[in-house]
């Protein structure tokens, strides 16, 4: 099953099992979503649970919040992460704080799905990674799966999570990655990282598309005698500090790889975590490899290629760290 | 509407008991408002945002709500409203003084952020206009659940109508003809900016046409006019007739908040001219004129309310703050 089929399967199976779940967003009903993530839901669950919304991102997330107050489990789709900005007030000022500001009386169990990421010739407004904007506000969870299995299991977990979950899906993964995905309902735990490749010489921490590039790079490095561990963070908020620290304590070297920009990206937070809690175990400074502090991404092919990380760039950073 | 001489309270079926309870709520709101300004000057309440002048609008709206059944999505000026829905003077003072037992937020929110899941009063932020999308979402939820005979009332000042979130909330409610009544309490200023610099048309209600809903303008200082319009709008919403934008024209009789000095942007003559139209005095006059209550009984009622406010003040001042060890509670579920 492809990644996008796994997302679709999660929505179908979850909605069939629980009539509190509704889907709302631009083009999600009749068209089934611009990436077809919601295809077939309208015919199966009807127009009151699968709702085509006007181009109003604040309204889409705000309406999801309102519906959740009456006990529903809404899944809002932002068509591209690049357009999540009008909804930021609703996500950070409203959904994140509802339980806290009412002293536990209300809550907002919503999911906001948003396709993210570059490398598909999407230029400045169909390529962005914006997770750094959401990982520093308490009250919300941020999930970015890398495999079809996780995409389904984490999305179902997100829908049933009591807190608002921002669920980013890398567009390049939608049809390029396949994997075994069980039929029916299952959940993968939010807040738990997964070790994708066990190794002893260094730890590579990544998520989303970059997990695949990091694994490719790690296989290349293995042929050069460097045995890297690759950790798929899966959830950026809350971070799985235990897995991060136990991995780096084992390997003594850490490289964080993400497509989000360097400055303010989650890599800085992970580096600080390691510096505070695993400094004595380090054999080298913590390194970060991220997109340049520019805008994802210029339209012209050579500029996009320059901007994007790839297995070669990651392998080079790993070699450099191994040599320190 | 019947064009006859029947007094509005009879025409609208408002019992003597309900009228007097309503008057008591109005007086309690004003007396509590007055007390809060005093407590603010004494340094015992950090912040006051006034409801003075809005009492008729809010009572008329509250009368149209089925408490604990319909949802209410209020804004920071809705003290009379929440009192009419069931929050007590003590509840409001505990909220204003950020005490542990503040039912709205447990001492977490600045004054004016009323909330009660039991009463279906939805918690709000201070971000103006951000809550009307929640009202629309509640309407979508009723439809998804197949629930009828239920409505939402969302309230805001005219300043909120310039916000993008306000526009999106009304757009969604209009497209889906959701059971939401949008109530604008037009007091003619957003802090200092006068209405002609906030709203590009003479009446906020004119905007309703752009959202596929009815727009209604009423005198917000006439509790009967407000109730009649709000009741009709809520009944229409509950019956599947879609949303309404109800504009209640009123005036706030005090500065926006304890952090505001209204002498910079409006004349004392203007304020005095509206004091002469005080909605509470107007309601009292009506009730006396129609032999619902005597002037002496009103004075007794006022003394009774003052005693309640005194007792509630003492209780709130003596009430404990929320314990610091609970500061991180309820961040996640």
Residues B177, A93: Cα–Cα separation, whole Å: 27
- Are the beta carbons of A250 and A282 closer than 8 angstroms? no
The residue in chain A having the minimum alpha-carbon distance to the alpha carbon of residue B166 is: A59
When pLDDT is cut at 50, 70 and 90, the band that residue B5 belongs to is confident
The residue in chain A having the minimum alpha-carbon distance to the alpha carbon of residue B154 is: A66
CB contact under 8 A, A22 and B140: yes
| pLDDT of B1 above 50 | no
Residue B127: its pLDDT value, please?
A: 95
Candidates A22, A62, A105; nearest CB to B134: A62
Q: Which residues of A touch B134 (CB under 8 A)?
A: 62-63, 65-66, 69, 94
Assigned domain for B324 exists: no
Q: Which of A12, A70, A126, A170 is catalytic?
A: A126
Residues B24, B20: Cα–Cα separation, whole Å: 6
The residue in chain B having the minimum alpha-carbon distance to the alpha carbon of residue A93 is: B125
When pLDDT is cut at 50, 70 and 90, the band that residue B173 belongs to is very high
What digits encode the pLDDT tens for the residues B19-59?
999 999 999 999 999 999 999 999 999 999 999 999 999 99
CB contact under 8 A, A62 and B168: yes
Residues B49, B94: Cα–Cα separation, whole Å: 15
CB contact under 8 A, A69 and B141: yes
Residue B265: its pLDDT value, please?
A: 97
Query: Among candidates B124, B107, B116, B54, which has minimal Cα distance to B85?
Result: B116
Domain segments of chain A: what residues? 3-176, 194-323
Residue B146: its H or E element:
none
Distance between alpha carbon A265 and the CA centroid of its chain, in Å? Answer: 13
What digits encode the pLDDT tens for the residues B59-74?
999 999 999 999 999 9
- Total tally of structural domains belonging to chain B: 1
Residues A317, A89: Cα–Cα separation, whole Å: 37
- Are the beta carbons of B301 and B307 closer than 8 angstroms? no
Cross-sheet strand order for the sheet of A21-25: A50-52, A21-25, A73-77, A111-116, A165-170, A141-143, A235-237
The encoded tokens of residue B267 equal 């004349």
Strands (E), B88-166: 152-157
Assigned domain for B116 exists: yes
The residue in chain A having the minimum alpha-carbon distance to the alpha carbon of residue B152 is: A66
The encoded tokens of residue B122 equal 């939805």
Residues B23, B29: Cα–Cα separation, whole Å: 10
Residue A202: its pLDDT value, please?
A: 98
Assigned domain for B199 exists: yes
3-state per-residue secondary structure call for B263-304: HHCCCHHHHHHHHCCCHHHHHHHHHHHCCCCCHHHHHHHHHH
Radius of gyration of chain B (CA): 19
Residues B284, B249: Cα–Cα separation, whole Å: 20
Residues A44, A52: Cα–Cα separation, whole Å: 15
Q: What is the SS3 assignment for B27?
A: helix
pTM, rounded to two decimals: 0.97
Distance between alpha carbon B112 and the CA centroid of its chain, in Å? Answer: 10
Same fold across A3-176 and A194-323: yes
Assigned domain for B308 exists: yes
**Which CATH number characterizes residue B301's domain?**
3.40.50.970
Q: Does B87 touch chain A (CB under 8 A)?
A: no
Distance between alpha carbon B290 and the CA centroid of its chain, in Å? Answer: 26
Q: Which residues of A touch B176 (CB under 8 A)?
A: 51
Q: Does B156 touch chain A (CB under 8 A)?
A: no
- The verdict on whether A126 is a catalytic residue reads yes
Residue B3: its pLDDT value, please?
A: 55
- Average pLDDT on B239-260 reads 97
Assigned domain for B128 exists: yes
Give the CATH architecture of domain A194-323: 3-Layer(aba) Sandwich (3.40)
What are the φ/ψ torsions at residue B194 (nearest 5 degrees)? -75, 160
CB contact under 8 A, B106 and A59: no
Q: Does B133 touch chain A (CB under 8 A)?
A: yes
- The CATH number of the structural domain formed by A3-176 is 3.40.50.970
Domain range for B267: 8-319
What digits encode the pLDDT tens for the residues A106-125?
999 999 999 999 999 999 99
Annotate B33-93 with DSSP letters as a single string. HHHHHHHHHTTS-S--B--TT-HHHHHHHHHTS-TTTSEEE--TT-HHHHHHHT--HHHHH
Distance between alpha carbon A69 and the CA centroid of its chain, in Å? Answer: 25
Residues B197, A199: Cα–Cα separation, whole Å: 65
What digits encode the pLDDT tens for the residues A143-171?
999 999 999 999 999 999 999 999 999 99
| pLDDT of A175 above 50 | yes
CB contact under 8 A, A63 and B104: no
Residues B105, A104: Cα–Cα separation, whole Å: 8
Candidates B123, B144, B176; nearest CB to A98: B123
Q: Which residues of A touch B164 (CB under 8 A)?
A: 58, 86
CB contact under 8 A, A163 and B175: no
Residues A276, B30: Cα–Cα separation, whole Å: 55
Query: Among candidates B330, B320, B323, which has minimal Cα distance to B99?
Result: B320
- Are the beta carbons of A129 and A296 closer than 8 angstroms? yes
Indicate the average pLDDT of chain B: 97
Assigned domain for B329 exists: no
Residue B37: its pLDDT value, please?
A: 97
Radius of gyration of chain A (CA): 19
CB contact under 8 A, B141 and A72: yes
Q: How much of chain B, in percent, has pLDDT values that exceed 90?
A: 98
What digits encode the pLDDT tens for the residues A25-41?
999 999 999 999 999 99
Residue A50: its pLDDT value, please?
A: 98
- Are the beta carbons of A25 and A76 closer than 8 angstroms? yes
- Average pLDDT on B295-309 reads 98
Which B residues 254-283 touch A at CB under 8 Å? none
Assigned domain for B92 exists: yes
The residue in chain B having the minimum alpha-carbon distance to the alpha carbon of residue A51 is: B140
CB contact under 8 A, B175 and A56: no
Residues B191, B207: Cα–Cα separation, whole Å: 22
Pairs across A and B, CB distance < 8 A: 149
Which residue has 């809005």 as its token pair? B54
């Amino acid at each position: 099953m492809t990644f996008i089929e796994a997302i679709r399967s999660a929505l179908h199976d979850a909605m069939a099992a629980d009539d509190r779940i509704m889907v709302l967003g631009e083009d999600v009903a009749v068209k089934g979503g611009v990436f077809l993530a919601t295809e077939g839901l309208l015919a199966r669950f009807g127009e009151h649970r699968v709702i085509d919304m006007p181009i109003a991102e604040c309204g889409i997330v705000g309406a999801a919040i309102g519906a959740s107050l009456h006990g529903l489990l809404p899944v809002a789709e932002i068509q591209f992460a690049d357009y999540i900005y009008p909804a930021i007030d609703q996500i950070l000022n409203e959904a994140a704080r509802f339980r806290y500001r009412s002293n536990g009386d209300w809550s907002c169990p919503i999911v906001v799905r948003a396709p993210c990421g570059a490398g598909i010739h999407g230029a400045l407004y169909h390529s962005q990674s914006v997770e750094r904007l959401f990982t520093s506000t308490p009250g919300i969870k941020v999930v970015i799966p890398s495999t079809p299995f996780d995409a389904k299991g984490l999305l179902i977990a997100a829908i049933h999570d009591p807190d608002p979950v921002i669920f980013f899906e890398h567009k390049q993964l939608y049809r390029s990655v396949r994997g075994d995905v069980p039929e029916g309902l299952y959940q993968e735990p939010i807040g738990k990282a997964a070790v994708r490749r066990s190794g002893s010489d260094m730890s590579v921490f990544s998520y989303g598309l970059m997990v695949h590039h990091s694994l490719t790079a790690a296989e290349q490095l293995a042929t050069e005698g460097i045995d890297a561990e690759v950790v798929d963070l899966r959830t950026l908020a809350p971070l799985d500090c235990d897995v991060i620290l136990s991995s780096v304590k084992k390997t003594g070297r850490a490289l964080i790889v993400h497509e989000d920009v360097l400055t303010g990206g989650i890599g800085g937070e992970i580096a600080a975590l390691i510096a505070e809690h695993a400094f004595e175990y380090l054999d080298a400074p913590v390194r970060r490899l991220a997109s340049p502090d520019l805008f994802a991404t210029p339209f012209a092919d050579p500029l996009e290629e320059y901007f994007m990380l790839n297995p070669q760039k990651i392998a080079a950073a790993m070699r450099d760290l191994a040599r320190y | 509407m019947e064009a006859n001489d029947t007094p509005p309270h009879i025409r609208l079926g408002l019992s003597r008991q309900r009228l007097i309870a309503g008057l008591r709520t109005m007086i309690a709101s004003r007396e509590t408002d007055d007390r809060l300004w005093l407590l603010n000057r004494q340094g015992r309440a950090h912040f006051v945002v006034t409801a003075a002048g809005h009492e008729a609008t809010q009572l008329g709206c509250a009368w149209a709500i089925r408490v604990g059944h319909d949802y209410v999505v209020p804004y920071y000026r809705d003290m009379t409203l929440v009192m009419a829905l069931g929050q007590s003077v003590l509840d409001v003072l505990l909220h204003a003084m950020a005490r542990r037992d503040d039912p709205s937020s447990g001492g977490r929110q600045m004054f004016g952020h009323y909330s009660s899941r039991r009463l279906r009063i939805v918690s709000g932020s201070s971000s103006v206009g951000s809550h009307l999308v929640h009202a629309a979402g509640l309407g979508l939820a009723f439809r998804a659940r197949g629930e009828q005979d239920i409505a939402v009332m969302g309230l805001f000042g005219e300043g909120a109508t310039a916000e993008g979130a306000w526009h999106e909330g009304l757009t969604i409610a209009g497209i889906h003809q959701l059971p939401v009544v949008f109530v604008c309490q037009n007091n003619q200023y957003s802090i200092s900016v006068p209405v002609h610099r906030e709203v590009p048309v003479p009446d906020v209600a004119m905007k309703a046409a752009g959202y596929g809903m009815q727009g209604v303008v009423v005198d917000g200082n006439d509790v009967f006019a407000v109730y009649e319009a709000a009741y009709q709008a809520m009944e229409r919403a509950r019956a599947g007739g879609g949303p309404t934008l109800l504009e209640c024209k009123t005036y706030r009789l005090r500065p926006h908040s304890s952090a505001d000095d209204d002498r910079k942007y409006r004349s004392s003559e203007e304020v005095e001219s509206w004091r002469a139209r005080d909605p509470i005095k107007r309601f009292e006059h009506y009730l006396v004129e129609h032999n619902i209550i005597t002037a002496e009984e009103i004075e007794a009622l006022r003394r009774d309310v003052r005693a309640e406010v005194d007792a509630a003040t003492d209780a709130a001042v003596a009430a404990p703050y929320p314990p610091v060890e609970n500061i991180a509670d309820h961040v996640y579920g």
